[in-house]
Amino acid sequence: DAKTTQPPSMDCAEGRAANLPCNHSTISGNEYVYWYRQIHSQGPQYIIHGLKNNETNEMASLIITEDRKSSTLILPHATLRDTAVYYCIVTGGGNKLTFGTGTQLKVEL
Amino acid sequence: GAVVSQHPSRVICKSGTSVKIECRSLDFQATTMFWYRQFPKQSLMLMATSNEGSKATYEQGVEKDKFLINHASLTLSTLTVTSAHPEDSSFYICSARDLVANYGYTFGSGTRLTVV
Q: Inform me whether the C-beta atom of residue B77 falls under 8 Å from chain A C-beta atoms.
A: no
Tens digit of each residue's pLDDT (9 = 90 or more) over A22-69: 999 999 988 999 999 999 889 999 999 999 999 999 999 999 999 999
Query: Is A55:A37 a contact under the CB 8 Å cutoff?
Result: no
Who's near B60: CB < 8 A, 6+ residues apart?
Answer: none
The fraction of chain B above a pLDDT of 70, given in percent, is 97
Chain B residues touching A36 at Cβ < 8 A: 104-105, 107
Please give the radius of gyration of chain A, using alpha carbons only, rounded to the nearest integer.
13
Tens digit of each residue's pLDDT (9 = 90 or more) over B83-109: 999 999 999 999 998 777 666 789 999
Tally of helices (H runs) and strands (E runs) in chain A:
0, 9
Q: Inform me whether the C-beta atom of residue B99 falls under 8 Å from chain A C-beta atoms.
A: yes
DSSP character string of chain B: ---EEEE-SEEEE-TT--EEEEEEESSS--SEEEEEEE-TTS--EEEEEEETTS--EEPTT--TTTEEEEEEETTEEEEEE-S--GGG-EEEEEEEE-TTTTPPEEE---EEEEE-
Report, as an integer, the average pLDDT of B12-18: 97
pLDDT of residue A95 exceeding 80, the answer is: no
pLDDT of residue A92 exceeding 70, the answer is: yes
Mutation target vs B (from A1, A41, A48; most B CBs, 10 A cutoff): A41
Q: Which residues are bridge partners to B58 per DSSP?
A: B48
CA distance linking residue B14 with residue A44, whole number of Å: 28
Tens digit of each residue's pLDDT (9 = 90 or more) over B57-92: 999 999 999 999 999 899 999 999 999 999 999 999
Report, as an integer, the average pLDDT of B13-40: 95
Q: Which pLDDT score is estimated for B103?
A: 64
Q: Which pLDDT score is estimated for A15?
A: 97
Q: Which pLDDT score is estimated for B102?
A: 64
CB nearest to B110's CB, from A34, A43, A99:
A43
Give the closest residue to B67 by CA, choosing from B19, B31, B5: B19
> Chain B: residue nearest A40 by CA?
B41
**Using 50, 70 and 90 to split pLDDT, how confident is the model at A94?**
low
